[in-house]
């Protein structure tokens, strides 16, 4: 009996991808073994994060880095670092940001559900740009001058959500932010692969970058990376660590926390709520090394092979076309024909309500297109998907 059977929770076929809602992907046996071993000893948590920092600095090209409990936690910690700096009094007062730099500038089209993590630090989001898309006439998004105009005395940071569609370019936003001496925090949660993106945003000049550890990296589901400038990472870590200790007894690792630059020891900070356990830190470090050891080409070939297995198991459908989409992130794509007799959402629901439950990507369901990600499929899953699609679509 599996652990999930014992709990009475059905294991699902996850063809949605590494979304948190469907529990992300899998951890490799090597990652699981490292986490188990990590749980068998005790360590000083600040020292463990300092060791992580030197590894993450090398991997990302940043001055420093810490393991977080997810990319969203990285956004909260990064924002808190930009607001409080190395001032323990400010750290203690967050999310009350009265009298502090308490605004972040964001391009309106980049606003998303995860910016709640940014706002949790107590800042107000100042939106710029008017993406004129639905009206049909639209060619514009935000422009660099609009970001410059929104930056003022209260601006703690510019927050940028990295993606192929994000406008203006990261390089242009770095230029604007830095010409006003404001740090740039990048949400790069899902920007892997390519593995080169671990260095790309820091290389372009970002001051802080947050990655998800539970997506393509294959780390523990609740893990992430925050990397960037040393002082900002020091502030982020101070607001994340458990600091229930006296000044005399406190001997944090100097490579990451220089206590003599602080007027005193801050109390537990706003990020104490998103603590990371030692097992998570160790698991993420092993996972990110494994991720880097596999070339992008080999990874996408592995994913493409899984997509092909889904295509073979499905065969030809009477009431839909099925195709293998190649590329860096291969997918199996089913497009309902006009005579399918069901909508895209109805197909999604039928898959979800079958045995086993199959969760596909519904983002284009309104257009009758349902796609299947290979990233979190188990070996036996292509056969389940193929059988269900044939039952439903002939
Ligand atoms: C997934 C995602 C996040 C959240 O990442 P977690 O590691 O789950 O906290 C934040 N921003 C974007 C753009 C994402 O895709």
Distance from Cα 189 to the centre of ligand 1, integer Å: 5
192, 209, 212: which to mutate for ligand 1, most atoms within 8 A of CB? 212
The Cα–Cα gap between 92 and 367 comes to: 50
Confidence of residue 205 (pLDDT cuts 50, 70, 90): very high
The Cα–Cα gap between 282 and 222 comes to: 13
Q: What would the pLDDT profile of 250-293 be if each residue is shown by its tens digit? A: 999 999 999 999 999 999 999 999 999 999 999 999 999 999 99
Residue 138 has pLDDT above 90, yes or no: no
Q: In this prediction, what percent of the chain has a pLDDT beyond 90?
A: 95
The DSSP string of 309-335 is: HHHHHH---SSEEEEEE-SSS-EEEEE
Q: In this prediction, what percent of the chain has a pLDDT beyond 70?
A: 100
Distance from Cα 315 to the centre of ligand 1, integer Å: 35
23, 71, 208: which to mutate for ligand 1, most atoms within 8 A of CB? 71
The Cα–Cα gap between 182 and 103 comes to: 11
Closest by CA position to 15, among listed 392, 391, 374? 374
Residue 134 has pLDDT above 90, yes or no: no
- The pairing of strands 320-325 and 224-228 is unpaired
Domains of the chain from N-terminus onward:
3-20+295-393 (3.90.1150.180), 42-293 (3.40.640.10)
Q: Tell me, yes or no, if the pTM score tops 0.95.
A: yes
Tokens of 199: 């260095």
Structural contact between residues 372 and 303, judged by C-beta atoms closer than 8 angstroms: no
Confidence of residue 1 (pLDDT cuts 50, 70, 90): confident
The Cα–Cα gap between 171 and 366 comes to: 35
Q: Which residues line ligand 1 (CB under 6 A)?
A: 20, 70-72, 114, 161, 187, 189-190, 212, 214, 224
The Cα–Cα gap between 287 and 218 comes to: 6
């Amino acid at each position: 009996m599996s652990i999930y059977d014992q709990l009475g929770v059905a294991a699902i076929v996850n063809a949605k991808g590494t979304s948190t809602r469907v529990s992300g992907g899998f951890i490799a046996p090597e990652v699981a073994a490292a986490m188990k071993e990590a749980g068998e000893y005790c360590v000083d948590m600040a020292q463990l994060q300092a060791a992580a920092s030197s590894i993450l600095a090398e991997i990302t090209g940043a001055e420093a880095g810490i393991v977080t409990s997810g990319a969203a936690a990285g956004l909260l910690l990064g924002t808190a670092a930009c607001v409080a700096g190395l001032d323990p009094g400010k750290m203690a007062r967050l999310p009350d940001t009265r009298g502090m730099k308490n605004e972040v500038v964001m391009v309106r089209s980049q606003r998303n559900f995860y910016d709640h993590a940014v706002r949790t630090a107590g800042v107000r989001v100042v939106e710029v740009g008017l993406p004129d898309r639905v009206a049909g006439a639209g060619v514009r998004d935000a422009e660099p001058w609009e970001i410059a105009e929104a930056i003022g005395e209260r601006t703690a940071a510019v927050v940028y959500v990295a993606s192929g569609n994000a406008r203006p370019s990261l390089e242009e936003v770095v230029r604007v932010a830095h010409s006003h001496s404001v740090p740039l925090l990048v949400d790069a949660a899902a920007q892997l692969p390519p593995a080169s993106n671990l260095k790309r945003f820091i290389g372009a000049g970002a001051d802080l970058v947050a990655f998800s550890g539970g997506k393509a990296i294959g780390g523990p589901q609740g893990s992430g990376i925050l990397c960037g400038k040393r002082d900002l990472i020091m502030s982020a870590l101070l607001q994340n660590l458990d600091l229930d200790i006296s000044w005399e007894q406190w001997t944090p690792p100097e490579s990451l926390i220089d206590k003599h630059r602080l007027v005193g020891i801050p109390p537990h900070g706003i990020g104490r709520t998103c603590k990371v356990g030692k097992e998570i830190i160790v698991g993420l470090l092993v996972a990110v090394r494994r991720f880097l050891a596999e070339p992008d080409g080999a990874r996408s070939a592995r994913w493409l092979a899984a997509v092909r297995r889904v295509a073979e198991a499905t065969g030809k459908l009477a009431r839909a076309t099925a195709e293998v989409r190649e590329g860096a992130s291969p997918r199996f794509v089913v497009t309902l024909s006009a005579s399918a007799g069901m909508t895209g959402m109805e197909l999604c629901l039928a898959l979800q309500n079958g045995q086993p439950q199959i969760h596909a990507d519904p983002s284009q369901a309104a257009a009758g297109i349902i796609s299947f990600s290979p990233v979190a499929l188990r070996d036996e899953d292509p056969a389940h998907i193929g059988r269900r699609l044939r039952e439903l679509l002939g």
